[in-house]
Amino acid sequence: MAPDLPFAGRSILVTGASSGLGAAAVRRFAAGGGLVHAAARDQQRLAEVAASCEGLPGTVSFGHLDVASPTDCRAAVAAAVERHGRLDVLVNNAGRHDFRVTADVTDEQWAHDIAVNLGGAFFCSQAAIPHLLETNGNIVNVSSVAGVVGEAYSAAYTAAKHGVVGLTKALAIEHLRSPLRVNCVCPGGMDTPQVHDIEVPDGVDFDLVMRISATRGFMSADSVAAVVAFLASDDAASVHGSVQVVDHGHLAG
């Protein structure tokens, strides 16, 4: 495998791939020669992501995925395997951050937040693991700095992202005696469409909301995608069960 094409011939499924970090990861893998299957709900935006990869060494296909649905999760994994005949990397990136005052969170909102931000990673991993064991592959879960510290007005999201960190560690221990690797990235605030469309409840302390931005400001999605790609590559062959915080130094203090 050429060193400048670290993912040549490798089949990669990226969830939440229609924008932000997911789209950046798709482009990074395609640039490395990967056979990428991009999955999300918005097919038009997925088509635009795929079009942006034209001319790169790899290929990009795409399909529907609502990570709140276990059935969809299993279907997305099956689609990637059917497309490329194998699966080498799963990137569990899909998620959504809604700010809510905890006392006002409904039963339905809690269940949806957990399903999108934790359930999707679990069900995609569950479906992918048998295929990844066949290829000595790996999983990269995307959590958040909210997976290692608290975040205001984000009880469900923070609980779910802590769960993603726990899921990563549990799967890593379960597979200590196999070649499968499982790692986690915890990004801080990124300059993505979700940040620009942020909505917060009336009357909240906005300074608490903006604590995620860190002193250096928001990061580019590309800079975090580089860490995702590293963990998915052979360069990280000895990295297993790790939780990589990428946050411009936000948690250093």
Active site positions, annotated: 157
User: Which amino acid is residue 153, in one-letter code?
Assistant: Y
Rounded to whole angstroms, how far apart are CA atoms 105 and 120?
21
d(CA 112, CA 94): 13
d(CA 34, CA 37): 9
**CA-to-CA distance for 210 and 205, rounded, in angstroms?**
9
Residue pointed to by tokens 């942020």: 198
Sheet of 138-142: strand order equals 59-64, 35-40, 11-15, 89-92, 138-142, 181-187, 243-246
* Adjacent-strand bridge partners of 26: none
